[in-house]
Amino acid sequence: MSALLETIAQLRAEVCALHAELTRYGLVVWTAGNVSARVPGHDLMVIKPSGVSYGDLTPGHMVVTDLYGTPVSGANIGSGGTVDWGNPPLSPSSDTAAHGYVYRNMPDVGGVVHTHSTYATAWAARGEAIPCVLTMMGDEFGGPIPVGPFALIGDDSIGQGIVETLMNSTSPAVLMQNHGPFTIGKDARSAVKAAVMCEEVARTVHISRQLGEPVPIDPAQIDSLFDRYQNVYGR
Amino acid sequence: MSALLETIAQLRAEVCALHAELTRYGLVVWTAGNVSARVPGHDLMVIKPSGVSYGDLTPGHMVVTDLYGTPVSGANIGSGGTVDWGNPPLSPSSDTAAHGYVYRNMPDVGGVVHTHSTYATAWAARGEAIPCVLTMMGDEFGGPIPVGPFALIGDDSIGQGIVETLMNSTSPAVLMQNHGPFTIGKDARSAVKAAVMCEEVARTVHISRQLGEPVPIDPAQIDSLFDRYQNVYGR
Amino acid sequence: MSALLETIAQLRAEVCALHAELTRYGLVVWTAGNVSARVPGHDLMVIKPSGVSYGDLTPGHMVVTDLYGTPVSGANIGSGGTVDWGNPPLSPSSDTAAHGYVYRNMPDVGGVVHTHSTYATAWAARGEAIPCVLTMMGDEFGGPIPVGPFALIGDDSIGQGIVETLMNSTSPAVLMQNHGPFTIGKDARSAVKAAVMCEEVARTVHISRQLGEPVPIDPAQIDSLFDRYQNVYGR
Amino acid sequence: MSALLETIAQLRAEVCALHAELTRYGLVVWTAGNVSARVPGHDLMVIKPSGVSYGDLTPGHMVVTDLYGTPVSGANIGSGGTVDWGNPPLSPSSDTAAHGYVYRNMPDVGGVVHTHSTYATAWAARGEAIPCVLTMMGDEFGGPIPVGPFALIGDDSIGQGIVETLMNSTSPAVLMQNHGPFTIGKDARSAVKAAVMCEEVARTVHISRQLGEPVPIDPAQIDSLFDRYQNVYGR
């Protein structure tokens, strides 16, 4: 049990610190946007609370929930005892259900990030995928960044839309229509990197297209870039 | 009396600190832009002075005025005595009359913010409302952000334009034509949040429309988002 | 003599500090852009040196020159003595000749600023004046921001272009074609404010025009805004 | 030998510090982008490692490689001894081969920089050269910023594309198609300045062209600007 609590303490610190990357790269304003991490080997996750400003976030604010978004309390895992999970008197992010759905249905995913970053959300508002016209996009996304369905908050429809779209794509990012990007990764840091790169390519391709059409990249060359970056290059 | 002076001291500190959010989010340059708060239960407000740079603002610079924008001095409220209101030798913001008009005519409003934030002002210069094509816009504004009339500074016409426009809207933000946004809230912090979100959606929808038409959101779904965010979600 | 040297020491500190406003508002990169101040009552000015990075500037780097751009040394003003002007072993800004021409020909000008700020320079590259479609532009500029002629560095043609354009305008800013903005003020701080506001309105009007035509403001109302802001309001 | 090691220590510190200029001017996100310096008089260079965040970079992270990108170790130059080059247990940047190709084929080049800066990369994605319509562009680039060929990472094709394009140009910057800019200079600082100015003119000319066509500058006047800036002005 103490090993689990130590892991959770580390994830709380890591997830908290990663929110600073969202503000550093201008992906979020006020309290929008959230990062979560799966607790490896357990049906648990660590996620940002609702309604706390980025400047005020501390590791102790991070909420531990099950994969349905319910904050854990009392019941010990695998025994009859009880335990202090250290949860704050705060609700988890209002997007927690979507994070949990992803963890339940994509077992290799260890981190999820959601933002309303400006350029990615602008593509999402048009319901338009971002074409792969940059070598860095080939490296990171292996093709276009796809659009997911319009879905309202309140049930599993956002989570389903994310999973169905990403299952059929090399991309770790999906643009939920009229809403904004969700990104995944093997851990929370990878998912944050995907969120940063998603906004970067959304912005660069937008600006390129303002004055004409970008030159397409041959799909075989995109595959070659992606394969090298993900495998040979060791990421 | 000392309870009132204590409340005013707290509001001076809060209003002063909230101006840092305007600069943090890039909503203002030089000395443009101002935040005010109603003094609850009194016909008074606390507002930024005119002509002081953001970096130099201290709580002691904030001016206490009546709801017609006249700095208070001397006369004690509800008694024959006099009191030191702590007002600095500075004029209140040149937009004070508009703030006061809002407080006089919208009793539930506890905070008002005015900026010339770039994208919101760009929509205002075209006299064009921002369409509600983002879920976060449904959450915060419950529909389009409306345009108010062209009005010159110097009398009540700016205040009237704000009140008439916002009375008929779910939006806490109005784009005064050729001028810029005014936002309201239950307190000064809520009005600042509305100013930040107004610029964010003004920018995102602008960028989305640069390369095509955003997908409309069904008005019933906008109502559902707004209702949930304002009521169920507890904001 | 010591009063003059004290004035110069104050202007060195002020001119140095004002360069931080240029970087704060993103008007300059690397070493481009410069601020100068006239030494009141003397045919002298204080100006940024050439080629020093903004982060490294100190008051001691500021160069005192005559109004033809020659650094002063040795000869005492109005006496046969000599004096240590404290000039660094640095050349004054390569734009010094243009600043000096303005001071020689516009006696009420106490400060000059030159930048290549992005949006103002974008209008300058098209040789297009910025139309007055914002109330804040009426306040500060009293009409459009005009374009000056294309002129090469090396003689008085830049200075002449600035002076001829600003003599016929209420605007304290001119967009030199294919080059960038020059602004003037009663002192260096006012000229810096004009540079900041010039970029702000260049950016806002640009963005507004990207999606349609801004609503014009009646010239009589622009006059009224400008008159109030410059006179009644006490700026 | 100790003189060489001292030179390398200085270059490590300088190259490390120059990466802060890339982040200061917003040219890079996450770990993309890299600076290198030639070790004068030796077939060696100092370059950023792969995969270290900008905030974490220290001089000790910088890798010393030969001009084919192989980190040096053990073998002493010009003697039978061995030496501790101080290399970290990190791979050099994945772009090291391109840097090395430039140093092998352009003996006057002492510094190379690669970024994916947004506006320059947007021009690169369209495969379009940036026209010289700004006097500051005449000063720094002496003409348009040219486009280099599409080339995949993994062999010398990126390096060849850079060298062939820059050999026929006054510009110290090339936009590699669908990829991003590479810049050169007499030392690493000059190459960083070229990267900053490349993005600045890419952005300004982009914005200018959004609302019409910039006024062309007579090529003879561009030559005059470039000649003055590079020679007379002493850069």
pLDDT surpassing 60 at residue B234 = no
Residues pairing with D39 in the sheet: D44
Residue of B nearest to C201 (CA): B118
Closest CA to D81 of D143, D163, D5: D5
Residue B137 pLDDT exceeds 60: yes
Burial state string for A5-27 with b = 16 or more CB within 10 A and e = fewer than 16: eebbeebbebbbebbebbeebeb
> Which residues are bridge partners to C112 per DSSP?
C36, C184
Judged against a pLDDT cut of 80, whether residue D233 lies above it is answered with no
Helix or strand or coil: residue D77? coil
Encode B20-86 in three state secondary structure: HHHHHCCCCCCCCCEEEEEECCCCEEEECECCCCHHHCCHHHCEEEECCCCECCEECCCCCCEECCC
Per the CB < 8 Å rule, is B215 touching A123?
Answer: no
Task: Please indicate if any CB of chain C lies within 8 Å of the CB of B128.
Answer: yes
pLDDT in tens, D81-90: 678 899 999 9
Are A191 and A35 a contacting pair, CB within 8 Å? yes
What average pLDDT does chain B have? 94
Q: How far apart are CA D37 and CA D162, in angstroms?
A: 17
Whether the CB-CB separation of A121 and B137 falls below 8 Å is answered with no
Q: B36: closest CA among B26, B25, B22?
A: B22
Element containing residue D209 per DSSP (H, E): helix D188-210
- Distance from the Cα of D78 to chain C's closest Cα (Å) equals 39
Token pair for residue D87?
């290399």
Residue type, A168: N
Here the tokens at position D117 are: 């800066």
The CA angle C112-B34-B27, to the nearest 5 degrees, is: 70
For B140, the enclosing helix (H) or strand (E) is helix B135-141
Nearest to D152 among A203, A205, A225 (CB): A225
Place of tokens 């229509």: A177
Q: Decide if D121 and A25 are in contact by the 8 Å CB cutoff.
A: no
Res A235 pLDDT > 50: no
Collect all residues of chain D within an 8 Å Cβ-Cβ radius of residue A205: 122, 125
Residue C60 per-residue DSSP state: G
How far from chain centre, in Å, is Cα A17? 15
- Whether B211 and chain A come into contact, CB under 8 Å, resolves to yes
Tell me the pLDDT tens digit for each residue of B122-131.
999 999 999 9
What is the C-alpha to C-alpha distance for residues A10 and A62, in angstroms, rounded to an integer? 11
**pLDDT at C160 (0 to 100):** 98
Radius of gyration for the alpha carbons in chain D, expressed in angstroms and rounded: 18
**What are D180's two structure tokens?**
């991003």
**Eight-class DSSP state of A61:** G
Checking if the pLDDT of D231 tops 90, the result is no
Q: Compute CA distances A209 → A130, C4, C202, D125, whole Å.
A: 11, 57, 23, 9
Read off the tokens for D224.
């005059």
Measuring CA to CA, how many Å separate C126 from each of C151, C177, C180, D135, D214?
15, 7, 11, 13, 4
Average pLDDT over residues B27-36: 94
Whether the CA torsion A142, A147, A151, A157 is positive or negative: it is: negative
B25 Cβ under 8 Å from any chain A Cβ = yes
Q: Calculate how close chain D gets to C121, using CA atoms only, in Å.
A: 7
How far apart are alpha carbons B24 and A28 in whole angstroms?
Answer: 12
ipTM for the assembly: 0.94
Report the topology of domain B3-231: L-fuculose-1-phosphate Aldolase (3.40.225)
Mean pLDDT across D97-117: 98
Predicted pLDDT of residue B76: 61
- Whole-number Å distance between alpha carbons of B126 and B138: 23
B92 at interface of C, judged by CB pairs closer than 8 A: no
CB contact under 8 A, D207 and C206: yes
Q: Which residues of A touch D209 (CB under 8 A)?
A: 211
**Min distance C204 CA to chain B CA atoms (Å):** 5
| Average pLDDT rounded to a whole number, residues A32-45 | 96
Report CA B218 to chain centroid distance, whole Å. 29
DSSP H or E segment with residue C36: strand C34-38
Percent of chain A with pLDDT over 70: 95
Question: With an 8 Å Cβ cutoff, is D219 touching chain C?
Answer: no
Q: In the predicted model, is pLDDT for residue A38 greater than 80?
A: yes
User: C68 touching B, CB under 8 A?
Assistant: no
Contact of D189 with D18, CB cutoff 8 Å: yes
First vs last C-alpha separation in chain A: 32
Task: Tell me the mean pLDDT in the region A46-75.
Answer: 93
Cβ count near C187 (within 10 Å): 17
* Chain A residues touching residue B211 (CB < 8 angstroms): 122, 126, 128, 206, 209-210
Note whether D32 contacts A: Cβ–Cβ < 8 A.
Answer: yes
The pLDDT of residue C117 is 98
DSSP H or E stretch at residue B184:
strand B180-185
Better pLDDT: D159 or D2: D159
For residue B75, is pLDDT > 90? no
Strand pairing class (A74-75; C74-75): unpaired
**H/E run at residue B222:** helix B219-227
* B170-223 pLDDT per residue, tens: 999 999 999 999 999 999 999 999 999 999 999 999 999 999 999 999 999 999
For residue D163, CA distances in Å to B140, C205, D67, D172 come to: 53, 41, 15, 11
- State whether B200 and A29 contact (CB < 8 Å): yes
Task: Find which of D207, D209, D223, D227 to mutate to test the C interface (most C CBs within 10 Å of its CB).
Answer: D207
What average pLDDT does this structure show over D38-51? 96
pLDDT tens, position by position, for chain C (235 residues)? 689 999 999 999 999 999 999 999 999 999 889 999 999 999 999 999 998 999 999 999 999 999 999 999 876 665 566 788 999 999 999 999 999 999 999 999 999 999 999 999 999 999 999 999 999 999 999 999 999 999 998 899 999 999 999 998 999 999 999 999 999 999 999 999 999 999 999 999 999 999 999 999 999 999 999 999 887 654 4
The CA distance from B210 to A58, in Å, is: 39
